[in-house]
A = this chain, B = another copy of it.
């Protein structure tokens, strides 16, 4: 895992407090794990807000890994923002869970074109959160924008 992505996560103290760990990040994809502790709620299952967070933060990480946002990059000066997000809880989350999302090559190209042409590239990410048995515990849908900062 590139230090660059780990540094971005580490720069946000509350994600560190949740114990979120990047597992796989590359162009068009991002995967992260969330441990049970310290995210358990008073029923002994993982708290809704921590499940939301491990899925939501993938949007920022995927953006960094997919779009060239570096100072000398094609999209220099753009930042990823989340506009809205929804989560559906399917079953209680026990133990370590894994959140995964991806964006197709066609969508990546379209977002890049929109951003360069209009200063704003919007995209929707679906993320799935599964437990160690592969059961889906929650699904999310997030709307993000690359915006000129």
Chain A residues near B (Cβ < 8 Å): 8, 11-15, 17-18, 37-43, 47-50, 52-53, 56-57, 79, 81-89
Copies in the complex: 2
Q: Is the CB of B86 within 8 A of A82?
A: no
Chain B residues, CB < 8 A from A40: 12-13
| A83 and B79 contact, Cβ closer than 8 Å, known pairs A12-B41, A14-B49, A53-B52 | no
Contact A85 B86 (CB under 8 A): yes
Q: Chain B: which residue is nearest A20 at the CB level? A: B49
CA distance A29 to B62 in the complex (A): 38
Query: Measured between C-beta atoms, what is the minimum distance from A85 to chain B in Å?
Result: 6
Complex: chain B residue closest to A92, CB-CB: B81
